[in-house]
Structure 1
Amino acid sequence: MKIKTSQAKTGQMVVQDVFSMTNQPIVNRNTILNSEHLRVLTRFQIEEIDVLNDSGYVKKETSRKEDTAKSEEKALSVKPEKEESFAGLYLQTVKRYKQLITNWQSGSPVDMLEVRQSVLPVLEAGSNVPREILLLHHYATSSDYIYHHAVSVGILSTFLAKKLNFSSGDCIQIGIAGVLSDCGMSKVQPTLLKKSGSLTTIEFDEVKKHTIHGYNMLKKIPSIKEGVLLGVLQHHERADGSGYPLKVQGNKLHPFSKVLAVADVYVAMTAERPYRSKQSAFKVLEMMMKDQFGKFDHQVISALLSGLSTFSVGSRVKLTNHDIGEIVFIEESHPTRPMIKLDTSGEIIALKNRNDLFIEELLS
């Protein structure tokens, strides 16, 4: 919806590029507005912007007394309408999950009925829209990374499970395991989760305990399936034994955990973190295929690649240098690095020969 820039608030998402007297946007679409973005829009005298409707509004944490748990709970209880966009449904689910984490940090037990009610709609919707999955990293903010990460891992895990032909019941269980994979972070010191710099060895060892914390939080729940438990415990294990917490490897890893491991790393590498900026989804796909060879199940990696390489000849894309163009040819041997015809010059470039460039996102 279009609003006056003077009415814009931090936490709202811009759904169209904002231009001024520039060739490049001063604010890119899918940007979550912060105070600096609002200052830029004011300086450039932008009178009107297009933002996601109110159901997709991301409220930032404030210190105001009226921002109480009661008002947040009321906001979280609003059911998304059927016509709501996937982005709105996703952001609403992140709000709900944030409340769940807050409850667990306070010592409340995990209520599986509440978890399922909170996340099942977005898991089912997201597994059918691979292009939307490619955009999830645009919605995450570094301050709320942990909540976005959990919901995104759940969505991607469900999608991958479907691609791998798991039963419909297992697909949902894998998605729930993805959402709960970092529930143990609620038992880690909050200061470590929000630290802007690199963690020390001691601090990282403390964070790594979240897999065991999560397992312990869930193991006494009668309705929890073994695959979910092992998925939570093993999602940082690696096929070559280089992971944690128990250095389990190969066939000893549960099939659920193999899916979660790939989803977790992909989401982590594409999202903005407190200590580094986000990376191109297609660059991450290539890195996982090459640099992480032997650490992940190759069938899951293949499912990720085939499922997210949804572009085709004629698709319009934005590159990491902000150039926009159209895909004119795709080589089967280089599915993430097609030939692009640039809008500005009409030049055709082969991305396989340009290691400095990657597809940033699909436009149409």
Structure 2
Amino acid sequence: MENYKNLSELRPGTVIAEDIYANTAFPIIRKGTTLEIEHLEVLDLFSIKRVKVEERIINRVQTDQPEIGKTDVISSNIEQLLQNKISRTSDLHTMYKKAVNEYKREFTSWRSGVKLDIAKVRLLIMPLLESYMEHKKMLVLLNEYSNRKEYLYHHAVSVGVLTAALASELDYPKGTTLQLGLAGTLADCGMAKINPILLEKAAFLTKEEFAEVKKHPVFSYQMMQESPLLRQEMKLAVLQHHERLDGSGYPRGDQGGKISQLSQILAVADVFHAMTCERVYRAKESPYRVAEMMKEEDFGKFDPTILDALYEIIGMPCMGDKVLLTNGDVGEVLSSNHDHPLRPNVRLNGRAEIVDLSMNRSIAIEKLIN
């Protein structure tokens, strides 16, 4: 027999009755999987509220005669673990959603011709920057919150958070970190001057249309230029956040030493979040795969020191970490690969199989789940 259960009702030993997907190409948990604590965390991370299960439950307690009440204690501990995790995530997510909604309201006013008020944006983003700096492990979940319809607003808030986190990881003073986070949030305010049709277009932009969109860093710079609330070097970072070290960026094609490090920090945050999110023309991608692509495939475009900081804030997999892979498998990190730190050796749960991610490039880490 099969039935449906809510996440709060699930226990280790419960058997899944159908593949579970979460906007992924592969199942995040496969049919027939016997749930363990790690699987419950995966379901929570993907906000899966209800799943189809089999009636049978496989006893995971390794004694023939469990002590009276022992199973209840185990269930209680699991419930407490999940509730604590959900509470922390929920509080931060509530703050995040509030910031996105407030930014959307401001952006809408800019589209109608209202002058940029940096003080308002600072008020909406500062509490979030402070909170995420205390909970850096939650940064890797930012792409889960975004959606294609309101990507523009999610992107602004997330880039602000990621920019501040990178600056903090690079040991910038707190004042600079918060200023740069504010600049990251405002980096795309100039999009309010771009035809909305272009920003919502699902097909590839024509050369002329892309040339129009590429004007937004200049518009952003012009919108904030008169305000004393943002330091001049932060305004320059906004102007240059689409420039690349190899000269392939825009709007001016600056390269090398002509691009400030603050600009480069903002650029890494901007590209990382954009590539991990679902867009009108692209599905979302694993944060670990994107970080790796930025370091390997985009070599020469970004400062390697900043990319190393990105690796740190998204969480480097270490021996013993539980991980979810992009093909839906769950496993444990056995050892790291020195040359490919985001591609460790992983032992799959419930199997003797060990996957060397440095050799199997079609699979990557989706999330750390411990």
Q: TM-score range by the shorter chain?
A: 0.7 to 0.9
Return the alpha-carbon distance in structure 2 between the equivalents of residues 225 and 142 of structure 1: 32
1:168-183 equivalences in 2 (<5 Å) = 168-183=174-189
CA distance in 2, matches of 1:107, 1:15: 48
The 2-side partners of 1:296 and 1:217 are apart by 26
1-side partners of 2:9 and 2:285: how far apart?
21
Check 1:82–1:286 CA distance in 2 against 1; reply closer, same or farther (3 A cut): closer
Which residue of 2 is the match for residue 124 of structure 1?
130
1:22 matched to 2:18? The reply is yes
Q: Distance in 1 between matches of 2:89 and 2:354?
A: 39
Distance 1:16 1:145 in 2: 33
C-alpha contact 2:202 2:281 (8 A) present in aligned 1: yes
Distance 1:26 1:128 in 2: 28
Shift of 1:15: 10
SS in 2 for 1:175: helix
Task: Give a deviation string over 1:57-88, Cα, whole Å, max 9, x none.
Answer: xxxxxxxxxxxxxxxxxxxxxxxx99962222
User: Partners of 2:22 and 2:108 in 1: how far apart?
Assistant: 35
Residues 183-332 of structure 1 mapped to structure 2, 5 A cutoff: 183-332=189-338
| Separation in structure 2 between the aligned mates of residue 318 and residue 89 of structure 1, nearest angstrom | 26
SS at match of 2:134: coil
Partner of residue 163 from structure 1, selected from 169, 193, 196: 169
The Cα shift of 1:24 comes to 3.3
Work out the CA distance in 2 between the residues paired with 1:321 and 1:177. Answer: 37
What is the SS of the residue equivalent to 1:261? helix
* Closer, same or farther: CA 15–200 of 1 in aligned 2, 3 Å: farther
TM-aligned CA deviation for residue 20 of structure 1: 6.0
Q: What's the secondary structure of 2:172's corresponding residue?
A: coil
Check whether the contact 1:131–1:310 (CA below 8 A) recurs between aligned residues: no
- The 8 Å contact of residues 190 and 223 in structure 2, kept in 1 or not, is answered as yes
Task: Give deviations 1:291-343, integer Å, cap 9, x for gaps.
Answer: 11111112111211233234322221111110111112123332101111111
Q: Which runs of 4+ in 1 moved over 6 A?
A: 14-17
Report the Cα distance in structure 2 between the residues aligned to 1:106 and 1:16, rounded to whole angstroms: 49
Structure 2 unaligned segments of length 5 or more: list them: 24-42, 54-82
Distance (whole Å) between structure 1 residues aligned to residue 90 and residue 275 of structure 2: 28
Identity within the alignment, %: 38
Q: Give a deviation string over 1:25-76, Cα, whole Å, max 9, x none.
A: 578655579xxxx9xx79x79xxxxxxx9xx9xxxxxxxxxxxxxxxxxxxx
Answer with 1 or 2: which has the greater Rg.
Answer: 2
For 1:203 and 1:30, locate their aligned partners in 2 and report how far apart those are by CA, in whole Å. Answer: 38
* 1:86 matches 2:92: yes
Instruction: Please give the per-residue CA displacement for 1:133-179, whole angstroms capped at 9, x wherever unaligned.
Output: 11111111001111111111111110110111111111011101110
C-alpha spacing 1:103/1:362, structure 2 compared with 1 (3 Å)? same
Residue type at the aligned position of 1:254:
S
Contact 1:31 1:139 in 2 (8 A): no
TM-score normalised by structure 1 residue count: 0.79
Give the root-mean-square deviation of aligned CA atoms.
3.1
Change in Cα spacing, 1:293 to 1:16, as seen in structure 2 (3 Å) is: farther
CA contact (8 A) 1:16 1:29 kept: no
Q: SS of the residue aligned with 1:341?
A: strand
Report the residue type matching 1:193 in the other structure. L
Tell me, in whole angstroms, the C-alpha distance in 2 between the residues paired with 1:272 and 1:127.
25
CA distance in 2 between partners of 1:314 and 1:219 (Å): 49
Structure 1: 5+ residue stretches without partners = 6-13, 46-52, 57-80
1:93 and 1:151 in contact (8 A); partners too: yes
Q: 2:245 touches 2:255 (CA, 8 Å); kept in 1?
A: yes
**2: distance between equivalents of 1:114 and 1:239?**
33
Kindly state the Cα deviation for residue 346 of structure 1 after the two structures are TM-superposed: 3.0
Contact 2:119 2:229 in 1 (8 A): no
Instruction: Give the TM-score of the pair, scaled to structure 2.
Output: 0.78
**Equivalent of residue 136 in structure 1, options 142, 146, 171:** 142
State the distance in 2 between where 1:123 and 1:16 align: 34
Which residue is 1:8 aligned to?
none
Q: Is the 8 A contact 1:228 1:256 kept in 2?
A: yes
Whether the aligned pair in 2 keeps the contact of 1:309 and 1:336 (CA below 8 Å) is no
SS in 1 for 2:95: helix
State the partner residue of 2:151. Answer: 145
The structure-2 alpha-carbon separation of the partners of 1:148 and 1:30, relative to structure 1 and needing over 3 Å to count, comes to farther
- Letter of the aligned partner of 1:22 in structure 2? E
Report if aligned partners of 2:237, 2:263 keep a CA contact under 8 Å in 1. yes
**Aligned counterparts of 2:46 and 2:313: Cα–Cα separation in 1:** 24
Shift of 1:232: 1.1
Determine if contact 2:337/2:358 at 8 Å carries over to the other structure: no
Which structure has the higher relative contact order (CA within 8 Å, separation 6+)? 2
Letter in 2 for 1:135: L
Q: Does 1:95 align with 2:101?
A: yes
SS at match of 2:291: helix
